[in-house]
Amino acid sequence: MIRKCTADDFERIYEIINNAAQVYKGLIPVEYWKEPYMSRDELREELDDDIEMWGYEEDGELVGVMGIQHSKNVTLTRHAYVCTSRQNHGIGGKLLSHLRKLTSEPILIATWSNAVWAVQFYEKHGFRLLSREEGDLLQRKYWSSPEVKIYASVVLGDERWFDFQTR
Ligand SMILES: CC(C)(COP(=O)(O)OP(=O)(O)OC[C@H]1O[C@@H](n2cnc3c(N)ncnc32)[C@H](O)[C@@H]1OP(=O)(O)O)[C@@H](O)C(=O)NCCC(=O)NCCS
């Protein structure tokens, strides 16, 4: 079941993110790796920043989360995480399909460039990688990421983004 997260889900969202983010260890810039990967304060700040989180529930427990955030004239997909033990069972795909129905705006996603599985996951769902130059420009425009994160990340856009560009 997919449902919108509430304030009561905070602790579970925190657990899922930090469980799934273990895969980043040794892969992302050292200055970005810490344990937990995202502290409660950071998560609180993110959620206060108008990110709407959705969750996938199994047997009464959230096992995956994904957020959307409106930014200027696009929608960003943020914080996509499925518990390690439940990855590769289609949960991320179901969450992504659900979120895509919630907006008519073009969707952009930024992910660590070394996270090849995540890039493949989005490509499987029709997203396409943007050039390094465009990705960097868009991260500065739509996200508030520090330069070190921009440098180590790539941006993917959905079909609507590419249609929007050719109009
Ligand atoms: C990326 C993520 C959200 C996808 O959710 P999921 O439920 O595992 O994905 P699905 O089962 O719907 O889709 C599986 C596809 O995703 C990719 N994928 C997901 N996990 C993978 C893994 N551990 N290794 C390789 N490919 C993986 C593959 O393309 C796979 O397709 P395939 O089955 O044809 O090989 C999840 O794997 C995750 O939380 N990863 C760690 C955190 C992360 O990278 N988040 C993305 C931040 S933008």
Total domain count for the chain? Answer: 1
pTM: 0.95
Whole-number pLDDT of residue 164: 81
Given this model, what pLDDT does residue 148 score? 87
Is any atom of ligand 1 closer than 6 Å to the C-beta of 153?
no
What is the three-class DSSP state of 160? helix
Are the beta carbons of 28 and 38 closer than 8 angstroms?
A: no
Tell me the CATH number at 34: 3.40.630.30
Ligand 1 pocket member 154 (CB < 6 A): no
79 CA distance to ligand 1 middle (Å): 13
Give distance in angstroms: CA of 121 to centre of ligand 1.
Answer: 5
Tell me the pLDDT of the chain averaged across its residues. 96
**CA-closest residue to ligand 1 atom 27:** 117
pLDDT tens column, 68-122: 999 999 999 999 999 999 999 999 999 999 999 999 999 999 999 999 999 999 9
Query: Is there a contact between 77 and 67 (Cβ–Cβ < 8 Å)?
Result: yes
Which residue range is the domain that position 120 belongs to? Answer: 2-166
